[in-house]
């Protein structure tokens, strides 16, 4: 493989990253790497605004541009930027890409046990003075960029990925924890302040979304008053607890239809809806398309074969 010389270091790194991700992720959509916590994202075509649900992760955009719309805020995460999502968050995403210059990214699912062990080693104090943000985009600096580049190089070899991958992920976690966005992860990991309490509630909603929830019960489980819970939940997620639960259910239902090939009626029951007609109404209002239309649209983007017998 030939790399480029005579250009700024960051541009050389971008081209190297793009070349390796193109090799590792030849198809549109998500491609799982040989490491469980690492996936690649590729899009050869622009994708208009569509709701997505990001799990806690670090997303490094190597080429192309993505826009995120979160509540009333809009932010960019361009090439050579990285996004840290400290808690599971739904937002609206838009991808700018072309066949000649596809959007290429790598997503690292956060291993909170590994992060907690690293935080204890660093012995960095965590204060309650400033409320960390739930999601932010930052330019990739040279140390973090070189760490990501070494991870991509290792992922081209199954043996190197197995032997070197865990250490390289730890190196990337270290760079993020000690960088501009480290405060968000440190607050969530240290289980201090309102941020950690809301994070606990989000984990319950993400893992038990099929259940019935009352706001008062959620607030009680995390040790907050209802008023404080409402206020801090909205500050962190840009939505109310009920809106968050509804968004989570709809995202999981879409995934079941797209990846699992089940019907809208089956998906609605699986995620906790008692009324298929209510599910269809809320799904169309949220995604802008009916369940079947959205499933077919996503399968086309991801270049998946339509599921046989999909209905509803």
24: three-class secondary structure by DSSP: helix
Residue 248 sits at φ, ψ, to 5 deg, of: -60, -45
Distances in whole angstroms, Cα of residue 307 to Cα of each of 30, 244, 311: 18, 28, 10
Q: Given a cut of 70, is residue 274 above it in pLDDT?
A: yes
Q: Using 50, 70 and 90 to split pLDDT, how confident is the model at 310?
A: very low
Least confident of 2-6, 61-65, 171-175, 246-250: 2-6
Percent of the chain at pLDDT above 70? Answer: 85
Choosing among 3.30.70, 2.60.120, 1.10.10, 1.10.390, the CATH entry for 9-187 is 2.60.120
Confidence class for position 134, pLDDT limits 50, 70, 90: low
Confidence check: pLDDT of 306 > 70: no
Contact (CB, 8 A) for 245 and 252: no
The pLDDT of residue 312 is: 34
- Given a cut of 80, whether residue 222 has pLDDT beyond it is yes
pLDDT digit string (tens) for 34-77?
A: 999 999 999 888 887 788 877 888 999 999 888 777 666 667 77
Phi, psi of 63 (to 5 degrees): -155, 145
Selection from 150-154, 198-202, 241-245 with the highest mean pLDDT: 150-154
Domain borders along the chain are 9-187, 191-239, 244-301
Phi, psi of 303 (to 5 degrees): 60, 45
Smallest CA-to-CA distance from 109 within 162, 60, 163, 44 is with 60
What pLDDT digit, counting tens, does each position of 2-28 carry? Answer: 344 445 778 888 899 999 999 999 888
Q: pTM for this structure? A: 0.71
Partners of 109 in the β-ladder: 57
205 and 213 Cβ atoms separated by less than 8 Å: yes
Cα separation, 282 vs 36, in Å, equals 33
CATH 3.30.70.580 fits 244-301, yes or no: no
**How far is it, in rounded angstroms, from Cα 50 to Cα 286?**
9
Query: What local confidence, expressed as pLDDT, does residue 189 receive?
Result: 66
Is-contact 60 105, C-beta < 8 A?
A: yes
Can you tell me the distance from the alpha carbon of 255 to that of 69, in angstroms, rounded to the nearest whole number? 21
Tally of residues, the chain: 312
Whole-angstrom Cα distance, residue 289 to residue 224? 37
> What's the confidence (pLDDT) of residue 2?
39
With tokens 């809320």, the residue in question is 282
* Tokens coding 42: 């590729």
Question: What pLDDT digit, counting tens, does each position of 177-203 carry?
Answer: 888 878 777 766 655 567 778 888 988
Cα–Cα dist 307/230, whole Å: 40
């Amino acid at each position: 493989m030939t790399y480029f010389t005579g250009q700024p270091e960051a541009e050389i790194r971008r081209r190297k990253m793009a070349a390796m991700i193109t090799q590792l992720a030849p198809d549109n959509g998500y491609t799982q790497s040989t490491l469980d916590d690492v996936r690649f994202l590729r899009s050869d075509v622009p994708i208009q605004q569509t709701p997505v649900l990001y799990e806690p992760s670090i997303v490094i955009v190597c080429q192309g541009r993505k826009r995120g719309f979160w509540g009333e805020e809009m932010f960019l995460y361009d090439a050579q930027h990285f996004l840290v999502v400290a808690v599971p968050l739904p937002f609206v995403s838009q991808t700018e890409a072309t066949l000649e210059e596809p959007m290429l990214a790598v997503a690292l699912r956060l291993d909170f046990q590994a992060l907690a062990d690293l935080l204890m080693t660093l012995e960095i104090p965590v204060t309650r003075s400033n409320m960390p943000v739930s999601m932010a985009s930052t330019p990739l600096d040279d140390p973090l960029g070189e760490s990501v580049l070494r991870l991509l190089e290792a992922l081209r070899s199954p043996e190197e990925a197995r032997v070197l991958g865990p250490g390289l992920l730890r190196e990337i976690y270290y760079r993020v924890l000690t960088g501009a966005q480290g405060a968000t992860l440190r607050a969530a990991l240290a289980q201090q302040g309102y941020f950690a309490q809301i994070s606990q509630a989000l984990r319950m909603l993400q893992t038990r979304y099929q259940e019935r929830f009352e706001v008062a019960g959620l607030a009680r489980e995390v040790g907050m008053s209802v008023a404080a819970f409402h206020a801090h939940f909205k500050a962190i997620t840009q939505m109310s607890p009920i809106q968050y639960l509804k968004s989570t259910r709809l995202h999981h239902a879409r995934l079941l239809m797209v990846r699992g090939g089940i019907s809208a009626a089956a998906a609605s029951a699986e995620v906790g809806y008692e009324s298929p007609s209510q599910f269809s109404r809320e799904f169309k209002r949220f995604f802008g398309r009916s369940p079947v239309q959205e499933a077919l649209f996503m399968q086309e983007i991801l270049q998946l074969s339509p599921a046989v017998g999909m209905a509803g």
